[in-house]
């Protein structure tokens, strides 16, 4: 692996010394570096444990950060060209850690429920009982049945619902069997006495076989555990952990609740048993999201608009609260994938750890350092911290020992994310504006299927914007891989002409607000655009968070119900005149106005308008005002009043004077009612 200390130091603005055996003979140099005042970056992850132990033994030590420049940069057929990449990775490692965010707390006392046949459930319980307080839910005897010794509480019946999360699971079930397992002494007298063999070693009566001889009741004798007159009863109980041995999981979502383990009929593996035993105590995780209800485009006036976050969530953590005109995110179920923030068009949901501004700073640092060190045509590869990172490490090691594998190309800059779906269109386009030639998102089988389709749909929007502005080539790409062999051909993907990027890298910083960042990046991309479309507008796919609104002026009565429904203030009225105005920049394409309009006069049209009118309040419909027939004051539009008169003219309650009052303003209508001598009043009777 070639190292160029001078070139790296120049790009990083510091003097560097190359070490070949820093974790062994040159460990003294590492200990000396610990005495500084700045966090220490170690460009090797193999001996992270050793370096950490050495630091703990030092009298005073600065924080240590580790970055891998070996598998991702040095072990490649492109290693000789990898100095700019190494500089970029080292520069990113120098950035401060993300700021702390609120946390979500779980408390588990170790109350575990094992659901399955008794023989399998007891085998699993035996491996957990020294650490956990285990209860069994019987689904039958299984092949071997239960043991005679009562070692664990046993529940039975029909499961109604299992809900919750680590430390707060609730099981609801119905007790319907004649045999009460709490009273049963497992003497087997009922099993021997039953002539139909309707009682097995799960000590429950099979109602399909039972012929009501009641020999079992007599055999049970003093214990009195069998009562055929017992009514079915609903019951519930709380548990901290669930081990499910059924073939079908209790939770259908891709990301199961923390604390729930579905082992299936084959039983738990070693990893599952270790994880279960470790989940006793108090645990914390970051609250990964921030929700701003006032920006949410989900619901208004009992109409549902944007449902994107609910549909994409793989943990079923997001639900609708129509009565409060908002969504609800359960932080205990949220796994931090961030896909909801990627598909959210308004920025009502934002990813909190790390924040968008922190992620943007890292992207900007990587790309600017790469360019400063002489790198060209950068490709930013976004991957997960778990399987994605493992695949890249495997690829680097394979390139070291296999001449047929190229490794990670020199101009591909890896960036680890908590989750690949947490970064969306505003950050992808920001990377292009910062000088990246391409942005790749690497997904594995750990991502839910809906993440693939959501990310691909957003990529199509971003790519349409870039192509519309004259940036040629494929800038955005979704890669799917099962193992390192699927990535072996990455260098071939780079042999095609590089995608065109900006002539001058942007200087803006990513903002906390998604729409604000999107505006900054669009301004830069438009200013740097190699070409502009002749119509000054770029048509975009349906998933676009940008667009305009078309209106059928013949159908519109200017009732302005759409104005109150718009969550983004894209639609506005004019207090001085009957007008409907539209600011295209604000529109998030949620569709609430379309669903609210009683005349079906509105339709969404996803696009990017390039002219200054995009930021202006443009009148999209206006009408002649209707003047009160009594005082002459305008109180509505001519078309709206005429439409109302036409619809109510045949109604029995609106005949004669009542119909004429509809032509009056509110004040005059009241005056006419009380001044009309022919009007019936309650006081007349």
The pLDDT assigned to 46 comes to 85
Report the C-alpha gap between 38 and 45 in whole angstroms.
19
Region 144-166: mean pLDDT is: 86
Backbone angles phi, psi at 501, to 5 degrees: -125, -170
Taking only the tens place, the pLDDT of each residue in 263-282 is: 998 899 999 999 999 999 99
| Beta carbons within 8 Å of 459's beta carbon, 6+ residues apart | 425, 428, 441, 476, 477, 478
pLDDT at 22: 82
pLDDT at 681: 58
User: pLDDT at residue 377 above 70?
Assistant: yes
pLDDT in tens, 230-257: 888 899 999 999 999 999 999 999 999 9
The DSSP bridge pattern shows strands 103-108 and 281-286 to be antiparallel
DSSP sequence for 480-494: E-SSGGGGTTHHHHT
The pLDDT tens digits of the residues spanning 413-442 come to 999 999 999 999 999 999 999 999 999 999
Would you say the C-alpha torsion 436, 397, 274, 267 has a positive or negative sign? Answer: positive
Question: 114 falls in which pLDDT band (50, 70, 90)?
Answer: very high
Could you say which DSSP state residue 21 is in? S
Residues 92-99, mean pLDDT to the nearest whole number: 91
* Cβ count near 466 (within 10 Å): 23
Residue 680, pLDDT > 70, answer: no
Please write down the HEC assignment for all residues of 60-90.
CCCCEEECCCHHHHHCCCCHHHCHHHHHHHH
* pLDDT at residue 405 in the model: 84
CA neighbor of 117 nearest in space, from 146, 160, 151, 74? 146
Separation between Cα atoms, residue 429 and residue 410, nearest integer Å: 22
Q: How much is the pTM?
A: 0.87
Q: Where are the alpha helices (DSSP H) in 255-413?
A: 270-278, 308-312, 339-343, 356-372, 387-401
- Looking at residue 684, its pLDDT comes to 52
The pLDDT of 135-146, averaged and rounded, is 83
Give the count of alpha carbons within 13 A of 362, CB side only.
25
Is pLDDT above 70 for 620? yes
Confidence at 1, pLDDT banded by 50, 70, 90: low
The model's pLDDT over 338-351, given as tens digits with 9 standing for 90+, comes to: 999 999 999 999 99
Q: Is the confidence at residue 357, as pLDDT, over 70? A: yes
* Strand ranges, E, within 422-518: 438-443, 476-480
What's the pLDDT band for 45 if we cut at 50, 70, 90?
confident
Per-residue pLDDT, 70: 83
- For tokens 């940036």, the residue is 471
- Interatomic CA distance for residues 77 and 227, integer angstroms: 77
More confident residue, 582 or 31: 582
Q: How many CB atoms lie within 10 A of CB 586?
A: 18
Per-residue pLDDT reduced to its tens digit, 399-421? 888 888 888 999 999 999 999 99
- State residue 231's pLDDT score: 84
Cis peptide before 316 (omega within 30 of 0): no
The three-class DSSP label of residue 377 is: coil
Buried b (16+ CB within 10 A) or exposed e, 250-288: bbeebbbbbbbbbbeeebbeeeebeebbebbeebebbbb
Q: What is the pLDDT of residues 379-396, one digit of tens each?
A: 999 999 999 999 999 998
Which 3 state secondary structure label does DSSP give 504?
coil
Question: What does the pLDDT read at residue 250?
Answer: 95
- pLDDT (mean) for 446-460: 95
* Angstrom distances, CA of residue 553 to CA of 92, 184, 556, 592, 597: 54, 77, 5, 19, 13
Question: Helix (H, G, I), strand (E, B), or coil: what is residue 406?
Answer: coil
pLDDT at 583 over 70: yes
pLDDT category of residue 561 using cuts at 50, 70 and 90:
very high
Given this model, what pLDDT does residue 230 score? 83
Is residue 339 within 8 Å of residue 421, measured between CB atoms?
A: yes
The rounded distance, in Å, linking the Cα atoms of 462 and 347 is 17
Burial class from Cβ neighbours inside 10 Å (0-12, 13-18, 19+) for residue 545 reads buried
The more confidently predicted of residues 540 and 485 is: 540
The mean predicted confidence, pLDDT, of the chain is 90
Residues whose CB falls within 8 Å of the CB of residue 346, separated by 6 or more in sequence, listed in order:
295, 296, 297, 306, 514, 515, 545, 567, 568, 588, 590
60 pLDDT more than 80: no
User: pLDDT tens for residues 500-511?
Assistant: 999 999 999 999
The helix (run of H) or strand (run of E) holding residue 666 is helix 666-675
Give dist(CA 71, CA 381) in Å, integer: 14
- For 636, residues 6+ apart whose C-beta sits below 8 A from its C-beta are 578, 625, 626
Residue 135, pLDDT score: 96
Mean pLDDT along residues 150-176: 92
H or E, element range at 622: strand 618-622
| Average pLDDT of the residues in 120-143 | 92
Give the pLDDT of residue 683.
58
Cα angle: 280, vertex 286, 287; to 5 degrees: 115
Give φ, ψ of 336 to 5 degrees.
80, 25
Out of 42-46, 105-109, 265-269, 387-391, the most confident range is 105-109
Give the separation between CA 187 and CA 178, rounded to whole angstroms. Answer: 16
Q: What is the mean pLDDT of residues 369-376?
A: 95
Comparing CA positions, the residue from 365, 288, 447, 325 lying closest to residue 92 is: 365
How far is residue 475's CA from residue 465's CA, in Å, rounded to a whole number?
Answer: 11
β-strands 476-480, 438-443 pairing: parallel
pLDDT digits (tens, 9 = 90+) for 284-321: 999 999 999 999 999 988 899 999 999 999 999 999 99
């Amino acid at each position: 692996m070639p190292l160029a200390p001078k070139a790296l130091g120049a790009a990083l603005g510091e003097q560097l010394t190359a070490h070949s055996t820093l974790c062994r003979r040159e460990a003294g140099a590492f200990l000396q570096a610990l005495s500084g005042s700045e966090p220490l970056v170690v460009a090797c992850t193999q001996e992270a444990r050793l370096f950490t132990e050495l630091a703990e033994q030092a009298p005073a030590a600065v924080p240590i950060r580790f970055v891998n420049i070996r598998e991702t940069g040095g072990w490649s057929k492109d290693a000789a060209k990898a100095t700019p990449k190494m500089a970029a990775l080292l520069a990113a490692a120098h950035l401060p850690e993300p700021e702390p965010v609120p946390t979500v707390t779980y408390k588990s006392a170790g109350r575990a429920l094992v659901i399955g046949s008794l023989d399998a459930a007891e085998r699993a319980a035996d491996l957990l009982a020294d650490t956990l307080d285990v209860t069994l839910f019987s689904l039958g005897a299984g092949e071997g049945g239960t043991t005679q010794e009562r070692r664990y509480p046993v529940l039975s019946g029909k499961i109604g619902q299992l809900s919750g999360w680590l430390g707060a699971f609730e099981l609801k079930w119905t007790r319907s069997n004649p045999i009460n397992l709490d009273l049963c002494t497992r003497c087997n007298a009922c099993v021997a006495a039953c002539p139909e063999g309707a009682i097995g070693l799960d000590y429950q009566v099979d109602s399909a076989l039972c012929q009501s001889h009641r020999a079992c009741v007599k055999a049970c004798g003093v214990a009195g555990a069998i009562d055929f007159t017992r009514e079915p009863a609903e019951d519930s109980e709380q548990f901290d952990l669930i081990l499910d041995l059924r073939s079908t999981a209790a939770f259908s979502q891709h990301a199961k609740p923390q604390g729930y383990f579905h082992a299936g009929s084959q039983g738990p593996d070693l990893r599952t048993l270790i994880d279960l035993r470790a989940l006793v105590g108090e645990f914390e995780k970051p609250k990964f999201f921030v929700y701003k209800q006032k920006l949410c485009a989900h619901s208004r006036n009992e109409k549902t608009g944007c449902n994107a976050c609910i549909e994409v969530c793989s943990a079923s953590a997001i639900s609708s609260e129509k009565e409060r005109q908002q969504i609800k995110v359960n932080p205990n179920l949220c796994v931090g994938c961030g896909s909801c923030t990627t598909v959210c068009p308004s920025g009502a949901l934002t990813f909190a750890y790390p924040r968008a501004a922190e992620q943007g700073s890292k992207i900007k640092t990587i790309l600017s350092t790469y360019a400063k060190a002489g790198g060209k045509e950068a490709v930013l590869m976004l991957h997960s911290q778990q399987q994605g990172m493992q695949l890249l490490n495997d690829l680097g090691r394979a390139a070291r020992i296999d001449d047929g594998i190229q490794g990670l190309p020199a101009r591909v800059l890896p960036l680890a994310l908590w989750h690949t779906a947490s970064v969306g269109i505003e950050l992808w386009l920001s990377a292009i504006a910062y000088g990246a030639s391409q942005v790749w998102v690497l997904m594995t089988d750990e991502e839910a299927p809906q993440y693939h389709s959501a990310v691909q749909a957003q990529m199509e929007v971003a790519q349409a914007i870039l192509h519309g502005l004259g940036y040629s080539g494929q800038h955005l790409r979704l890669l799917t891989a099962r193992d390192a062999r699927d990535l072996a051909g990455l260098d071939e993907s780079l042999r095609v002409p590089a995608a065109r990027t900006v002539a001058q890298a942007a200087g803006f910083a990513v903002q906390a607000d998604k729409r604000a960042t999107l505006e900054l990046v669009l301004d830069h991309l438009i200013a740097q655009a190699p070409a502009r479309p002749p119509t000054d507008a770029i048509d975009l796919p349906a998933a676009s968070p940008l667009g305009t609104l078309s209106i059928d002026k013949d159908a519109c009565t200017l009732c302005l119900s759409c104005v109150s429904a718009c969550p983004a203030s894209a639609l506005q009225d004019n207090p001085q005149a009957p007008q409907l105005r539209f600011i295209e920049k604000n529109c998030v394409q949620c569709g609430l106005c379309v669903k609210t309009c009683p005349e079906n006069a509105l339709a969404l049209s996803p696009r990017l308008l390039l002219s200054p009118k995009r930021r202006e309040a443009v009148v999209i419909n206006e009408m002649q005002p209707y003047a009160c027939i009594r005082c002459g004051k305008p109180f509505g539009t001519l078309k709206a009043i005429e439409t109302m008169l036409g619809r109510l003219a045949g109604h029995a309650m609106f005949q004669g004077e009542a119909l004429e009052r509809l032509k009056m303003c509110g004040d005059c209508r009241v005056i006419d009612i009380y001044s009309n001598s022919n009007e019936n009043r309650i006081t007349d009777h």
